[in-house]
Structure 1
Amino acid sequence: MSTQDRDHIMELLPQQREELLRMMQQRFETYVHRHPELEWTGVMAKLAANPSKLGSLHAMERTGGEPDVVGYDVESEEYLIFDCSAESPKGRRSLCYDHAALEARREHKPKDSAVGMAAAMGIELLSEEQYRRLQQLGAFDLKSSSWVRTPARIRELGGAIFCDRRYDTVFMYHNGAESYYAARGFRGCLRV
């Protein structure tokens, strides 16, 4: 994601907002099994009350995430929106894990890091638990993989974790945080 993209991430024209909300509503109604007890009117009310979240939602959509509502956190009173694209979002691949990993690479640096790009988009990487929750809603990352939020103790030792789905099973793996691959991106969570 370029600096220019980051600087303009929150600015949506009225037509862009309408198109984004129409697309979100259509996806919400198409994939009812992801949120069987929730209604679009509640989601729409939260988005209307938090217009700054639309920029993040737009960034998720623009980078291929196909965001959708996957639940409601009763404690925080927020809807959870995850990237639900079949494979790790194409606009967020070939990234190392975080800024420290990006800086540690001496040659062949990727364009960005997963943590940095997520922060610029106003979202968080899914945790392993959230990733496994997503996988209960369908079969995701059958050909790709996704960085997930790495526990501090693993990151302090130079590692990072990622997940995918193979053989009808969700796997968690490790890699050096500075590594990056064309088939590995990240999935995010937006709370509204």
Structure 2
Amino acid sequence: MPTLARPALPEQTRNLAKSLMNRYLRDMIVRNWEQDGRPLPPPHQVKQTVIEQYRRRYSCPVLVETGTFRGDMVEAHLKNFDRIISIELSQELYEKASYRFRKSPHVTIYQGDSGAVLPRIMRLLDAPAIFWLDGHYSAGDTAQGSKECPIYEELEAIFAQGKGLRHVLLIDDARCFVGQGDYPTVAALTEFIQAHDPRYQVEVQDDIIRAVVPA
């Protein structure tokens, strides 16, 4: 007796199943990391969760990322933000990310040095954003501009065009900010941020420097 083919699931059902599975895997990875004592650096799924927590807490409709790399952070938050903007220095990685998100009209990928591109982006923002600042060089396939770590240029652009909006600033790889090369210390970075806007409180947790204006 011939086997009857199963009817294909509707696309909406497939997408829901995929989303639920991804969330389950993410939560499992985060739990395992916590049980292991929260070693550094944390897995990417932990960083995704941190961004989502701040989005909910501060109701930010926009995500701005420096350092697109392969686009995994953009992918993780496709359905969480009204608008996603990401900057990638590498021409090759920029082209791959642009192709990856070609069907997502609310995603814009820019190519260039984040410190130079951010001023243009800041002029377009009229709502609070979460800034995921990960544009510093970290070897491997990542690109390096004129500086290993353009964090001062990135922050200068944000505060210069900030329009008084209470942006959330999340800086990845806190363990690298020890005052070597182009990386300032966390203390120097805190002083820089508060000199531009004393409302900001800065803390480090799970390898992420977090600067927010208390709600």
Q: Classify the TM-score, shorter chain.
A: under 0.3
TM-score by length of 2: 0.25
Bigger Rg, structure 1 or 2: 2
Higher strand share: 1
